């Protein structure tokens, strides 16, 4: 579906007969609203990972990206997250100890508040022998902890941000859309994202229709 078509379908939901229903949304505002709403849709799907709906965002999954460390610290290595990183799918490390190289080490995410306790716990601290270690996520990087072994790199699978829609002239709120920046979802999914857009519009303007839009998203109407 073209961006302009998406915009017109959105107007049908929020305005009566595509005439000004007291409040209108120009193309510039729609760009911001749609980009935010497709992120919310992806977030909603990821919260339901155990359900079949995850297939709607499989095209946004980047698999097995090898990432070298940017810095070694006293007890951990820092690995920068990709700029288009949205959410984690899976991560493991490739490590070296002595002559034993390129070994897969499983990683387990921990909370920063629990870090010191776990790093001192003989049964939970990083272990090359058991091929297990710990990691935290902070400041757009993954921190992998080690103990007498080298963390060469991590292998990351992650969900990236969906491509944003844009205007040809970002300084003109009524500019035409840049149709070369195609929406990455199929028409069925776009309809659900439009419902999110409409729900956000109605919520921001205290319109009771937002409950109807919410049900459209949940019930796939």
> Mean pLDDT over residues 140-166, rounded?
97
- Global pTM value: 0.86
Asked if pLDDT for residue 43 goes beyond 70, the answer is yes
Region 175-204: mean pLDDT is 91
Instruction: Tell me the percentage of the chain whose pLDDT exceeds 70.
Output: 87
Exposed / middle / buried, residue 120 (Cβ in 10 Å: 0-12, 13-18, 19+): exposed
Q: What tens digit of pLDDT does each residue of 106-150 get?
A: 999 999 999 999 999 999 999 999 999 999 999 999 999 999 999
β pairing state of 100-109 and 132-138: parallel
Lowest mean pLDDT across 124-133, 135-144, 172-181, 197-206? 197-206
Closest CA to 135 of 95, 96, 103, 91: 91
Q: What percent of the chain shows pLDDT beyond 90?
A: 80
- 62 contacts 158 by C-beta, under 8 angstroms: yes
E-state strands within 31-171 = 61-68, 71-72, 76-80, 85-97, 100-109, 132-138, 141-145, 150-160
Would you say 101 and 151 are in contact if contact means Cβ atoms under 8 Å apart? no
Alpha-carbon distance 125 to 133, whole Å? 7
Q: How confident is the model at residue 117, as a pLDDT?
A: 95
Burial 80-90 (b: 16+ CB within 10 A, else e): ebeeebbbeee
Q: Give the pLDDT of residue 53.
A: 87
| Segment among 140-149, 158-167, 194-203 with least mean pLDDT | 194-203
SS3 for 171-210, per residue?
Answer: CCCCCCECCCCCCCCCHHHHHHHHHHHHHHHHHHCCCCCH
């Amino acid at each position: 579906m073209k961006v302009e078509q998406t915009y017109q379908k959105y107007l049908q939901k929020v305005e009566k007969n595509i005439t000004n229903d007291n409040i209108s949304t120009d193309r510039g505002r729609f760009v911001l609203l749609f980009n935010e709403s497709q992120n919310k849709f992806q977030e909603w799907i990821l919260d339901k990972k155990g359900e079949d709906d995850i297939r709607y965002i499989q095209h946004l999954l980047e698999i097995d990206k090898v990432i070298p460390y940017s810095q070694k610290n006293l007890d951990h290595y820092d690995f920068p997250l990709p700029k288009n990183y949205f959410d984690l799918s899976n991560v493991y490390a490739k490590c070296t100890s002595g002559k034993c190289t390129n070994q897969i080490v499983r990683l387990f995410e921990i909370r920063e508040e629990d870090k010191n306790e776990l790093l001192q716990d003989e049964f939970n601290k990083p272990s090359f022998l058991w091929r297990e270690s710990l990691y935290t996520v902070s400041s757009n990087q993954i921190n992998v902890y080690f103990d007498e072994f080298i963390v060469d790199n991590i292998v990351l699978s992650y969900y990236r941000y969906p491509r944003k829609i844009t205007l040809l002239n970002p300084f003109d709120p009524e500019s035409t859309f840049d149709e070369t920046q195609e929406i990455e979802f199929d028409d069925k999914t776009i309809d659900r994202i439009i419902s999110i857009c409409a729900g956000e519009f109605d919520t921001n303007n205290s319109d009771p229709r937002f409950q109807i839009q919410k049900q459209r998203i949940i019930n796939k109407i």
